[in-house]
Structure 1
Amino acid sequence: MRCACTIADGADVPQVSVIIPAFDAEATIDATLASATAQSVRDIEIVVVADGCTDATVARVERWTRTDPRVRLIEQANAGVAVARNTGIAAATGAFVAPLDADDLWHPRKLEWQLERFGDPGVGLVYGWYRPIDEQARVCATAATPAIEGRVLHRHLHWNFVGNGSTPLIRRAALDGIAYDPALRAARAGGCEDYLLQLQVARRWRFGCVPAYLTGYRQRAGAMSGDRGTMMRSHVAALRTIRPSLPPSARRVCDAGIARFALLSASAALGRRQVAPAAAALAQALRHDVAATGAALTEQVATIRRARASRGAAAATPGARFDDLQAGDPPSTWTPSATLAALARLDAED
């Protein structure tokens, strides 16, 4: 492991540590670093962990370290995103940790607005909304705009409303005793390491929300989050990992989630004509929650029908660039479902 920069003894400790794991990110790392260094909160450090890069990522980051002393580079052999994030956090010194993937973007006031929500000492994580963007940083889809706050464990088990790993700002104390789990990648089920960590934080801490579009979440061909089958398996693996530590009411929500994602994994395997993995995933779903499997199957059939009905429709026109849009536009019209409302009552009792 090699570190291109260290903080001198007696130097001021930054308020926020931005952690950027990077693997062969030469196409996007400059835009991501420009987004991080442009934050209105200036008291930050930016730790880039080059995870066995084989392209020009390291050279590009080294140029940033020469022009902005807040940027630090650590190089390590390829070990995956979980280990890279943990390496960055171990080297960081800030009171808050802000994960940022090497292809995502932030609104300039993201950290400022999130820090304002930490006035409550019981809040361990603050998230905001995000916009999916394409490889040219143009908004390419809409995303949900939830405002779920307080105790959120049951609702977060039901639905990953945070949505991606570049959105949260996390109190460093909330990470005591937990870390990103490399076991998911080792089991060929990587992708939900951020979701698993958020669930672990939610067991002990409250969440806060900034109701604004703060993150541009990159959708790229070949990206891990775009591999539907892997992501479904990763959701199952994440939920199975946290299940033993949950109280009974949360385990029931967890089991329903495992059943739902196992069924979706079976569907993805069938789409690739992989019958044996599909059968194994379906059996796993039925073992965990027969009723949830039936409900998920009904939902899947409805989704297929909607997709078939929409064939031949004109492709959406690419939208505006992420940086050109106002953080609060359009305003949210989101309302919680009946299921989320019921789970909110369980969270209130937690």
Structure 2
Amino acid sequence: MTDSQPKISIIVPCYKQAHYLDTSLKSVLDQSYDSWECVIVNDGSPDHTEAVAHKWSEKDARFNYLKKENGGLSSARNAGIAVAKGVFILPLDADDVLHPNYLKETISVFDTNKKVAIVGCYSIFFKENIDNVVMIHKPKGNNCRNLLYVNQLVATSLYKKQLWEEVGGYDESMKDGFEDWDFWLSVTKRGNEYAIVPEPLFYYRKASQSMLVDTIKTKAEKVKEYLIHKHREIYIEDFDNCVRVFTHHLVTSRRKEQRLQQSLEYKIGKLILKPFKLLGLFKTKTTSTQ
């Protein structure tokens, strides 16, 4: 690595989030660690992403701009990483924010632990501004088995670019989210380990509407099915535990349904709808006699 080559490449895809981009990029500029470049990827965004990106590129030469046709988050990340010069990669969504010491604290783990391939941290989930904290996410574990049923690592975790090359990048067919979970499984099932800095160094914007929110509400089961089929060998290795986990999910779902049916609101709703059901039956019988 030459003196002019950055050690870390931060990849910031943007699609319809130009209104957040300034805040995200300022958190990059404010880093206490300075051996970085930032690749802003305009994923065919119809808003003013390009104007914001040019402003930051003119402000600091470490910001670079890449424009491409819309292809989804995985495609945008892959495009940015393909031109990245750093030894390490940090994906950062355009609406999220880094703590000023994020790079300094995470890169130091690689310096002290040569076995580690990915470094994450505690994350603050916030709404509107970083002081409005919703929850603090504290990842656990250090290997593939810890990622099988819960995605412990947020997308904004630092890793070696070599890993991206080895697994073929992010899966561009996954346009409904969880592409980072798939990527971590692809990396760790090869024997690579991750480490967690036990400090809240990353701020994740919890939006009321987003691709991830939509996936969790309507498509989570389908996407998880895809993940299990794609990485079936590691789930087969964990077969007994896998059965326990999914049985637990079924039991939990049934209990929730039973509690709902026993709730006062459910009983009142059935009572209110009963006349309409009777009316429907009456109409059906009348129609059948004509």
Q: TM-score, normalised by structure 2?
A: 0.81
Is 1:220 aligned with 2:207? Answer: yes
Is 1:160 aligned with 2:151? Answer: yes
Which residue type is aligned with residue 134 of structure 2? A
Q: Residue 121 of structure 1 corresponds to which residue in structure 2?
A: 114
Structure 2 CA distance for partners of 1:209 and 1:32, relative to 1, 3 Å: same
Is 1:98 aligned with 2:90? Answer: yes
Which residue type is aligned with residue 156 of structure 1? L
Which residue type is aligned with residue 144 of structure 2? L
SS of 1:73's equivalent in the other structure is strand
The whole-number CA distance in structure 2 between the counterparts of 1:172 and 1:252 is 34
The whole-number CA distance in structure 2 between the counterparts of 1:298 and 1:247 is 20
The count of aligned residue pairs is: 256
1:298 aligned residue (231, 248, 251)? 251
Q: Residue 192 of structure 1 corresponds to which residue in structure 2?
A: 178
- Determine which structure has the larger strand proportion and give its number: 2
1:148 aligned residue (128, 141, 144)? 141
Q: What stretches of structure 1 of length at least 5 have no aligned partner? A: 1-9, 257-288, 312-350
The whole-number CA distance in structure 2 between the counterparts of 1:38 and 1:101 is 17
The whole-number CA distance in structure 1 between the counterparts of 2:219 and 2:133 is 22
The whole-number CA distance in structure 2 between the counterparts of 1:213 and 1:31 is 18
Q: Residue 288 of structure 2 corresponds to which residue in structure 1?
A: none
The offset of 1:248, in angstroms, is 4.2
Q: Deviations over 1:13-39 (max 9, x none)?
A: 101000111101111000000011111
Is 1:70 aligned with 2:23? Answer: no
The whole-number CA distance in structure 2 between the counterparts of 1:173 and 1:250 is 27
The whole-number CA distance in structure 1 between the counterparts of 2:132 and 2:222 is 27
Which residue type is aligned with residue 12 of structure 2? I
Judge conservation of contact 1:147–1:211 (CA < 8 Å) in 2: no
Judge conservation of contact 2:74–2:171 (CA < 8 Å) in 1: yes
Which residue type is aligned with residue 141 of structure 1? V
1:207 aligned residue (194, 211, 232)? 194
Structure 2 CA distance for partners of 1:300 and 1:96, relative to 1, 3 Å: same
2:160 aligned residue (171, 176, 200)? 171
Q: Residue 80 of structure 2 corresponds to which residue in structure 1?
A: 88
1:35 aligned residue (21, 24, 27)? 27
The whole-number CA distance in structure 2 between the counterparts of 1:196 and 1:19 is 18
Q: Deviations over 1:251-295 (max 9, x none)?
A: 665xx3xxxxxxxxxxxxxxxxxxxxxxxxxxxxxxxx5x54432
Q: Residue 249 of structure 1 corresponds to which residue in structure 2?
A: 237
Structure 2 CA distance for partners of 1:62 and 1:242, relative to 1, 3 Å: same
Q: Deviations over 1:53-107 (max 9, x none)?
A: 1001111111000011110110000000001000000000101100101100111
Structure 2 CA distance for partners of 1:232 and 1:218, relative to 1, 3 Å: farther
Which residue type is aligned with residue 224 of structure 1? M
Q: Residue 170 of structure 2 corresponds to which residue in structure 1?
A: 180
The whole-number CA distance in structure 2 between the counterparts of 1:38 and 1:302 is 48
Structure 2 CA distance for partners of 1:97 and 1:147, relative to 1, 3 Å: same
Judge conservation of contact 2:127–2:134 (CA < 8 Å) in 1: no
Mean Cα deviation higher: 47-56 or 294-303 = 294-303
The whole-number CA distance in structure 1 between the counterparts of 2:194 and 2:82 is 23
The offset of 1:111, in angstroms, is 1.0
Over the aligned positions, Cα root-mean-square deviation in angstroms equals 2.3
Q: Deviations over 1:199-232 (max 9, x none)?
A: 1111231111100111111111220111122234
SS of 1:143's equivalent in the other structure is strand
SS of 1:98's equivalent in the other structure is strand
Q: What stretches of structure 2 of length at least 5 have no aligned partner? A: 266-290
The offset of 1:198, in angstroms, is 0.8
The whole-number CA distance in structure 2 between the counterparts of 1:70 and 1:111 is 15
Larger radius of gyration: 2
Which residue type is aligned with residue 192 of structure 2? W
The offset of 1:298, in angstroms, is 2.0
